[in-house]
Chains A and B, each alone.
Chain A
């Protein structure tokens, strides 16, 4: 019996209540359990990637009810990869949160953290759109808690916006699911794919609405234009380790679009042919622009990083919008890269900002270990800007190489290249202000036109310990590894997208699991 598949959900779901209720008075105990759980999750995820590596689509029928009547979990290369990405990221970020003491600045950090992981993994593993909704709720409610961890006026305000925006998204999700069920009579993705294929375009109006609304819902999570507005402020005000973990959150939205709009509403489905790609493409182009503009025009470091996350989402989605195997491979590579790059930036920024009292991009007395932080920031920034030798450059090359279609090449290439330029200039500006200009002896002249920036909690003028720097280094290490092993990784990703586009294989694996073996 393949209980492995459900472990990434069950383990944190059982661990989190224990941490929250039994261990809540002893931070050391909670930390130990949380790290232990996360490490175990990484091991499980590796096992899942190995299991999925055989190319089969593994199905786990919850309650022993067959699809489409019960809920099934589906493990294929894509979901295994996403779960591994989540848990690898989470472990590194968790160590940072512990080493910097962020986890003690509010209540229930570790319990919420584990719940967060449960929600994300659940969303990646499910084969049912309603269950996807449920896990969206799990990951969102946990993220609300993490977002406002340790409080503060600006954070509370940003957190409220985050909650409101996502509640609106959840409401639309329910509308979309209602419409979907009322027009196709099912919620299982494989069954949906089957029924959509049989639905003639003349009768598909309602299903099309459902597909479109679902796409908007996922776009809210992914932070795609025109529903990206919530992201920069949320990430900028979230506790830095939480923002680093949130690097995976946008990917949940991207994953959902990849899964649902490829398998159920993808190419070759008469009712929804071309619907998603047509609208995703321009949205992604504008998203790149929004991100690049935000990076160049930023006044503060944290929003700058937030906007760079928006830009990277745009780059991924430009490739996703092509809905081709080659472009999906490129998108997935860039997805892996941008997750680690964004997280790395947030972790490094945390080390710097907590020692500077403010994340405003202005000269201030250089912090202790200026050189070390500058080097880390330089590495993370060139990763995010997509410069060599880190994986972002290869990712961009892959994306551009995959988008050679005459209809897309002009817009896509221009957006990616021009966006990169603005991002490079923006990061160079920020880095030179933070790390170079700050070494000049002249005291900074405060600019009265600037809006006051909230002070970051608990400035600590102390030197960074090895444990505090190690997570950032580990993130950079992941980026280096992604670049060095680009060949094998892309090989896996190629097989992943081939499997994703093998709709018949997915349907038969889920709906007639016995025949799959």
Chain B
């Protein structure tokens, strides 16, 4: 790190840190706000000044902090001649803009915001020109797009501002993205993302096969930023920004970023045919086109905008020539263009500010009314036209000189002629600016009476004009900085050039004379030309852009809304097709081992059961519109599957399946009461056939898969479970031991699922009862389908009798679970069934009266007991859910085994029971809400009472 390198960090950080200030200082008033905005900029400028002597001596100052080494991204900065020139321009003009904006912005404009955006933008711009790492440069590059978006859209209530901001963001953002690609490729070729490394690898990069893609992508970035044809259209629309923004963005900074990039990459990318033809041609076309359009713009800012486009084209063209001399000219012209263009923008701002219009057709004669402004504006415009004694003349002469000996595709006149034409047009619009605004008679229809503004507003442009004239008269003043900046661009020895007014009689002089004379002729003929221009059809860039964006939005919207149309059946169809298709592809990519199992014979009973199962399934699929029927069929399916489990010697599964089935069907039956009897028929026949085909193929696929693995043996881990069930798990029922011990954690998870389900149903019911569904429920008429005998005597009696038996069975199943089929899950379900039956027989309210505990609590206790059982293992230094068991003798019972698994199973039991009951409770709340009457007696008819008494009651 050179001496003073650390200063670069401060310079880079100052604007960003400073951006925090204006937003706060605006509370102290507008002057304080502007002054405090100037502080970080001025400070950065001072620091830059401290580094300047070394840079002017030819040193390069570097500083680096690693940021993301995995990517090769470091916060590394370097300051060479080019960086110094740009940094000084950005900060210097930044200061002037701060001053100018203080007096330009009206009281209604949020000034704090403005200065914050301005400093953010300044920081981003400064970052670009002093970044050593190209990835860091990309970051700043995108930041300029973002912060300029904010600046251009500053007057957010104006549609032009919003649209202009979005257009600028879209165009420069797109270029920025292309630039990312280009820079990454460049870094890959060079093997480093550090500019100082890349700049030494020009030969290798130009020879690489990736050179052209990288070049095109980088140029896309540069051209969009610097508003080169055909991306030039965003720049004039960015003029919707307040004038200080335009003056900053379009003279010194934003648009110069592209030119800066071309200059920065010049040693690496320039010098090839591709570079010459793409860059020089684009620049040439842009410069002529921009100047031509500028001639016809009525809005002063638009005139300057297209003039900027034209001058940027000029710079691009010069850099595109690829010759060192042209590069020097480009550097010199960057400096000159900055001075006069910033001054001109500010002049226009003053005119706009005072006359309340910037339409040329409404102006004229201002030289008497605004003499100071007239002087400033005229000097700037003369420089823009390239008139001697102003700095624009010097670089224009040198440009014409460079153009005069450039050969384009074998033609040695194309470039000189077009360059002269560009200058000619430039002269024409510059003089038009002077003549149509300041000369002519004083009018009496200005929107406001124009007069010169206060010193604050004209000080900044005046200062710039001093520079314009100073360089124009004494070009050697700019000598050192041009030399050192050009040296950085060329990356080698400087070519011969001299910055002076008189170069003798040469081709450039004649071209210049033609330009001035032709320009004056054009101005004289401006009126008829303007009529022709207005009459001529021409593409309106904004309309095209808007149409393009509009089309993109419409197209993406229709694609999105067509594909995401909310039809769940289609989503499922796609999901199923994808699963089957990809499953098949995966399957066909490998082979199968030979089958190792015989297919078992099918006994007739099983065959019947199978047919029953298939029939019921098809029935559900076809007749599901009748909900009740479908439910019955689902019951049949469930029972068939349970039978299958029994046949396949899986009593645990069968028990669980039967009880789950019973509970589910009972709850669904209760829920059916509140739903329409049939579901609506929505799918047309074609859709049904499609879905049937998909479902059929998927079903066959699953069946085939199952068949494929059922006829093959595989070495599984289950042998371990069988071996260790009794010794390690303390139970002989390996299924239960797996559930509560080997994989108790799974069970723990599943009971939590069940518990959460209880919660969710409860919460859902609450939400429903507070929503529109509640109104429907209240107004539904359930009287038609209400049974005359809601709580039949027989059912009440039978369920009462069954209750203790069922509870006993439940407890029995629970206790024996560890060794025989059963367990907490089944037991919970069985007891839930017993309770469910009471509810069904005698109604919810009656049963509720007799309930001693809350269901919420039941679930909670279940989960917590299971969890605590697991945690208890910690006390013994074992992992969660490690089981312990021992044998206990409790007279008069025989010795029996008792393990922690028992407690865990208790948790399972409670959660299952609680969850089922909470679901029931939720359903009955709906019933109560729907206006169902509440009975306090177990039956509708009390058999103990006499009929006569009952009648009086009704």
Interface of A with B (CB < 8 Å)? 1, 3, 6, 10, 13-14, 16-18, 20-22, 24, 60-65, 68-71, 106-108, 111-112, 115, 118, 122, 130-131, 134-135, 137-138, 141-142, 144-145, 148-153, 156, 160-161, 164-165, 168-169, 172, 175, 178-179, 181-188, 191, 201-209, 211-213, 215-216, 220, 226-227, 229-230, 232-233, 271, 275, 279, 290, 292-294, 296-299, 307, 329, 371, 378, 382, 387-389, 393-394, 396-398, 400-401, 404, 413, 417-418, 420-422, 424-425, 428-429, 432, 435-437, 439-441, 486-487, 490-491, 494
Which of B161-169, B521-529, B924-932 lies at the interface with chain A?
A: B161-169
How far is it, in angstroms, between the C-alpha of A182 and the C-alpha of B702 when the chains are bound?
13
How far is it, in angstroms, between the C-alpha of A441 and the C-alpha of B559 when the chains are bound?
34
| Contact yes or no, B759 A401, CB < 8 A | no
| Contact yes or no, B763 A275, CB < 8 A | no
Mask of B683-724 contacts with A, CB within 8 angstroms, 1/0: 000000000000000000010011011101011110011001
Q: Which residues of B lie under 8 Å from residue A69 when comparing CB positions? A: 717, 720-721, 724, 742
B553 to chain A, nearest CB (A): 6
| Contact yes or no, B70 A329, CB < 8 A | yes
B133 to chain A, nearest CB (A): 11
> For the side of the interface on B, what is the size category?
35 or more
The answer, among A227, A233, A424, A487, for a CB contact under 8 Å with B68, is A487
A88 to chain B, nearest CB (A): 21
How far is it, in angstroms, between the C-alpha of A276 and the C-alpha of B153 when the chains are bound?
46
Which of B138-146, B252-260, B789-797, B798-806 lies at the interface with chain A?
A: B138-146
| 5 extra interface residue pairs, beta carbon distance < 8 Å, beyond A71-B743, A130-B746 | A13-B752, A161-B571, A184-B714, A201-B590, A227-B571
B570 to chain A, nearest CB (A): 8
Mask of B545-567 contacts with A, CB within 8 angstroms, 1/0: 00001001111111111011010
A425 to chain B, nearest CB (A): 5
| Contact yes or no, B572 A165, CB < 8 A | yes
Interface residues of B in 741-793 (CB under 8 A from A): 741-746, 748-750, 752-753, 755-757, 759-760, 762-764, 766-768, 770-772
Q: Is B814 an interface residue (CB 8 A)?
A: no
The answer, among B146, B705, B710, for a CB contact under 8 Å with A175, is B705
Q: Is B498 an interface residue (CB 8 A)?
A: no
Which of B91-99, B170-178, B365-373, B645-653 lies at the interface with chain A?
A: B170-178
Interface of B with A (CB < 8 Å)? 66-73, 110, 113, 135, 138-140, 142-143, 145-146, 149-150, 153, 156-159, 161-162, 165-166, 169-170, 173-174, 177-178, 180-181, 184, 188, 549, 552-561, 563-564, 566, 568, 570-572, 574-576, 578-579, 582-583, 585-593, 702, 705-706, 708-710, 712, 714-717, 720-721, 724, 728, 741-746, 748-750, 752-753, 755-757, 759-760, 762-764, 766-768, 770-772, 854, 856-857, 859-860, 863-864, 867, 870-871, 873-874, 877-883
A471 to chain B, nearest CB (A): 22
Known contacts A18-B864, A145-B763, A175-B702; is A131 also within 8 Å of B746 by CB?
yes
Return 19 A-B CB contacts under 8 Å, by A number: A1-B878, A22-B860, A64-B882, A65-B728, A112-B759, A135-B749, A148-B760, A151-B767, A151-B771, A156-B767, A164-B568, A168-B572, A290-B560, A296-B557, A397-B135, A413-B181, A425-B552, A440-B159, A487-B67
| Contact yes or no, B759 A138, CB < 8 A | no
How far is it, in angstroms, between the C-alpha of A16 and the C-alpha of B88 when the chains are bound?
62
How far is it, in angstroms, between the C-alpha of A183 and the C-alpha of B593 when the chains are bound?
10
Q: Which residues of B lie under 8 Å from residue A208 when comparing CB positions? A: 586-587, 589-590
B951 to chain A, nearest CB (A): 44
B571 to chain A, nearest CB (A): 4
Residue in chain A with minimal CB distance to B16: A389
| Contact yes or no, B578 A70, CB < 8 A | no
| Contact yes or no, A131 B745, CB < 8 A | yes
How far is it, in angstroms, between the C-alpha of A279 and the C-alpha of B585 when the chains are bound?
10
Residue in chain B with minimal CB distance to A436: B156
How far is it, in angstroms, between the C-alpha of A494 and the C-alpha of B156 when the chains are bound?
44
DSSP majority for the A interface? helix
B320 to chain A, nearest CB (A): 25
| Contact yes or no, A148 B705, CB < 8 A | no
Q: Which residues of B lie under 8 Å from residue A161 when comparing CB positions? A: 566, 568, 571
B926 to chain A, nearest CB (A): 14
Identify the 9 closest CB pairs spanning chains A and B, nearest first: A151-B767, A297-B557, A21-B860, A185-B716, A182-B709, A297-B556, A212-B586, A145-B760, A436-B156
Known contacts A182-B709, A398-B70; is A417 also within 8 Å of B181 by CB?
yes
How far is it, in angstroms, between the C-alpha of A270 and the C-alpha of B877 when the chains are bound?
42
Known contacts A20-B856, A212-B582, A294-B556; is A62 also within 8 Å of B756 by CB?
no
The answer, among A229, A329, A437, for a CB contact under 8 Å with B571, is A229
How far is it, in angstroms, between the C-alpha of A16 and the C-alpha of B856 when the chains are bound?
12
Known contacts A1-B879, A6-B880, A112-B760; is A21 also within 8 Å of B742 by CB?
no
Centre residue among A6, A151, A429, A435 by max chain B CB count within 10 A: A151
How far is it, in angstroms, between the C-alpha of A211 and the C-alpha of B556 when the chains are bound?
34
Residue in chain A with minimal CB distance to B110: A371
Known contacts A21-B857, A186-B717, A232-B564; is A439 also within 8 Å of B741 by CB?
no
How far is it, in angstroms, between the C-alpha of A397 and the C-alpha of B193 when the chains are bound?
12
| Contact yes or no, B756 A275, CB < 8 A | no
How far is it, in angstroms, between the C-alpha of A400 and the C-alpha of B767 when the chains are bound?
46
Q: Which residues of A lie under 8 Å from residue B593 when comparing CB positions? A: 202-203
Residue in chain A with minimal CB distance to B585: A212
Known contacts A62-B881, A175-B705, A206-B592; is A115 also within 8 Å of B752 by CB?
yes
Q: Which residues of A lie under 8 Å from residue B138 when comparing CB positions? A: 388, 393, 397
